[in-house]
Amino acid sequence: MSETTQPVERIHVPDLDAILGKAYPVLDDGFVRVIDYMGSDDAIVQAARISYGAGTKKVSEDRGLIRYLMRHWHTTPFEMCEIKLHVRVPMDIWRQWIRHRTASVNEYSTRYSVAIDAAQRTAPDAWRLQSADNKQGSAGTLDAETGAHLSTREQELHRLAVDVYQERLEKGVAREQARKDLPLSTYTEAYWKIDLHNLLHFLRLRMDDHAQYEIRCYAQTIGEQIVARWCPMAWEAFLDYRVDALQFSRIEAEIIEALTKEGPEAACARAEAFGLLKQGKNGLLRNRERTELEAKLQQLGLQPPWAAR
């Protein structure tokens, strides 16, 4: 048989095949499930090794090669793997999700079909307070009594929105217009197809502690329940070199080097030269780059040298 007509066997991942179509619940009425996939850890390795050309010896074990690719940001081999998910998600969270423009998407249309009769509900103890130092984040929760009141009001709002929507449909209003006052908490559904490289980028951002809680729930489900089964070696490398790794800028590296080699005063002098220690009337001015460096120092068991000043 000639080289151009050799049969190619489709890659199968038994652990992923076992959960095809299984809906993993997220939030109160959402889910994620795998519809189809292509490739696996083997496909990543196969794509990487073809770059060496015919006759090249195997340079490492598969796990070691995948870790090398992840560690050195060789992304193309990870694009050889694709997955198609069916997701059910609140519209406000879907707005964040769809900002990742690296997937093929087909969403449930409320122009053609009646809107999904479900909206994400908030438990009385789950109303989050606005963060004082992060305009797009939250910190802490409301007290139980206030939370219970807001949950009751939420239910009333949902019922009214659904009743008004149904009334419009019954009177013959076009679906495309009848839907306009539905709340953003209304669930939508979509098929979402993406390659592994771009999926891992999505997960790195949306699994982060700074991401909104609701989309973080979806990201963690996709990562821990699906990607970990589909490409376990790539998932392990992703956790080691992206999620749980520390990355230092040139400025941060120079300050840490000064701290460990020359001492606190040298580190402070370097930080001052980089503009991280500007003073205001009430002490150090807020500086996000300095705050991020302080968090990294604490992870390394080091105290920020300017804290003792």
* Binned average pLDDT, 10 residues per bin, the chain of 309 residues: 66 96 98 98 91 50 93 96 98 96 96 96 94 78 95 98 98 97 98 98 96 97 98 98 96 96 95 94 91 95 89
Task: Provide the pLDDT for residue 4.
Answer: 64
Task: Provide the pLDDT for residue 57.
Answer: 46
Structure tokens at 23: 């809906």
Task: Provide the pLDDT for residue 139.
Answer: 81
Is residue 169 located within the same domain as residue 92? no
Q: Is 303 inside a domain boundary?
A: yes
Catalytic annotation on 206? yes
Print the domain residue range for 157. 124-181
CA–CA separation, 275 vs 290, rounded Å? Answer: 9
Question: Which residues touch 189 (CB under 8 Å, ≥6 apart)?
Answer: 86, 87, 88, 89, 107, 108, 116
Cβ pair 212, 96 in contact under 8 A: yes
Is residue 106 located within the same domain as residue 30? yes
Is residue 95 located within the same domain as residue 46? yes
Is residue 32 located within the same domain as residue 84? yes
- Domain of 74, CATH number, reads 3.30.1360.170
- CA end-to-end span of the chain: 77
Measured over the CA atoms of residue 207, residue 211, residue 213 and residue 218, the dihedral's sign is negative
Q: Is 153 inside a domain boundary?
A: yes
Is residue 143 located within the same domain as residue 219? no
Is residue 138 located within the same domain as residue 256? no
Is residue 103 located within the same domain as residue 190? yes
Task: Provide the pLDDT for residue 308.
Answer: 77
Task: Provide the pLDDT for residue 6.
Answer: 67
Is residue 99 located within the same domain as residue 214? yes
Is residue 267 located within the same domain as residue 236? no
Is residue 173 located within the same domain as residue 212? no
Structure tokens at 45: 């390795």
Active-site annotation holder among 67, 88, 179, 206: 206
Q: Say how many domains are in the chain.
A: 3
Is residue 208 located within the same domain as residue 111? yes
Q: From the centroid of its chain, how far is CA 40?
A: 20
Task: Provide the pLDDT for residue 56.
Answer: 44
Is residue 66 located within the same domain as residue 22? yes
